[in-house]
Amino acid sequence: MAVPYLAPEIQIQFDQVLAQVGPNDPYDTDKTIGIIDVLRAHFTLADFFLAGEGRPFGGVGPRDLGLLHSAMSRQFVEYGGLRKWTTSYDLCATLFFGLIKDHPFIDANKRTAFLILLYHLKRFKLAPDLPQVELEDFAVAVADNNLIKYARFRDAYAELPNRADSEVRFISEFLRKKTRSLDVSQPPVTYRELDTILRRFDLQLDDPYRNYIDVVRFIEKKPLFGKPKLVKQRVAHVGFPGWSKQVPRDVLKAIRERAGLTPERGYDSATFFRDARPIDCLIHEYQAPLRRLAFR
């Protein structure tokens, strides 16, 4: 699974880990984050700090895949056939807690957990509604077993019998109070503008014919012999009145759904219409706290 913007040496390590994990992701649903998402976030962070900025990175990749699977499986814990964590805030909280406390990576556990928390919230059409440094401090408090510094935790959660559960429930409450809804509206866009947007996601409009056009992506096929080839894959086939015409809302919605570029998959309106990739966008937006977390 190539991530074309990774530096080659980091892409090689990413591919090696993906080969161990396998192609099927049992954790990836509309409400939960997959292990491949977490690995992609971690290796993108490594690319940003190592290849992009030349900043120190103590080691790249999982320290223990078993620990990573343990953190991922927290999203699916059941008691008596009933899910333990059910709300969007609960699910974000328990995965964040697992990633930051289990230390599944050689380095950058806080940064990976922090980035995945932001990405998970985005999947639920939510965004932090507090200063970045406040969310950064909160992540450090979770990692350092120091939630007792918060009066609300002392008053309502500190005396509960299961400390891990009490911390997850407090994190969930914190997120509920400190997030806002994302804008998922669809601004008007022409077919020419849509083609430009789609190319950021390695898609494009192609082969207009008799008032229809294809949405395609190019995927690399590796034959048994010879060099890999790029093969065109049709994603959607939609009406096409002309490049300067506005894309109908239902057509735009259908394209985003077929391409997996929906708010439920982490691509809210701002990400789709103005940015390229949600993980990259979040790193850019939160680069200051991510830099500081390396030393906290």
Q: Would you give per-residue pLDDT tens digits along the chain (296 residues)?
A: 445 467 888 999 999 999 999 989 999 999 999 999 999 999 999 998 886 666 667 789 999 999 999 999 999 999 999 999 999 999 999 999 999 999 999 999 999 999 999 999 999 989 999 999 999 999 999 999 999 999 999 999 988 889 999 999 999 999 999 999 976 666 778 888 899 889 888 899 999 999 999 999 988 777 777 777 878 899 999 999 988 788 998 999 999 999 999 888 878 777 787 654 678 778 878 989 999 999 98
Paired tokens of 143: 């990692």
Number of H helices, E strands in the chain: 13, 7
Query: In Å, how far from its chain's centre is CA 294?
Result: 20
130 class by beta-carbon count within 10 Å (0-12 exposed, 13-18 middle, 19+ buried): middle
- The answer to whether 160 and 152 have CB atoms below 8 angstroms apart is no
Nearest to 169 by CA among 113, 111, 85: 85
| pLDDT of the residue at 265 | 84
Question: Helix (H, G, I), strand (E, B), or coil: what is residue 46?
Answer: helix
- The answer to whether 120 and 95 have CB atoms below 8 angstroms apart is yes
Phi, psi (degrees; rounded to nearest 5) at 285: -70, -35
| pLDDT of the residue at 186 | 67
**Residue partners of 21: CB distance under 8 A and separation at least 6:** 35, 36, 39, 65
DSSP string, 158-177: TTSS-HHHHHHHHHHHHHHH
- The answer to whether 103 and 109 have CB atoms below 8 angstroms apart is yes
End-to-end CA, the chain: 32
Would you state the CATH architecture of domain 8-184+279-293?
Up-down Bundle (1.20)
| pLDDT of the residue at 25 | 95
Q: Domain residue spans in the chain?
A: 8-184+279-293, 191-267
Nearest to 145 by CA among 169, 172, 163, 130: 163
- The answer to whether 12 and 2 have CB atoms below 8 angstroms apart is no
- The answer to whether 255 and 262 have CB atoms below 8 angstroms apart is no
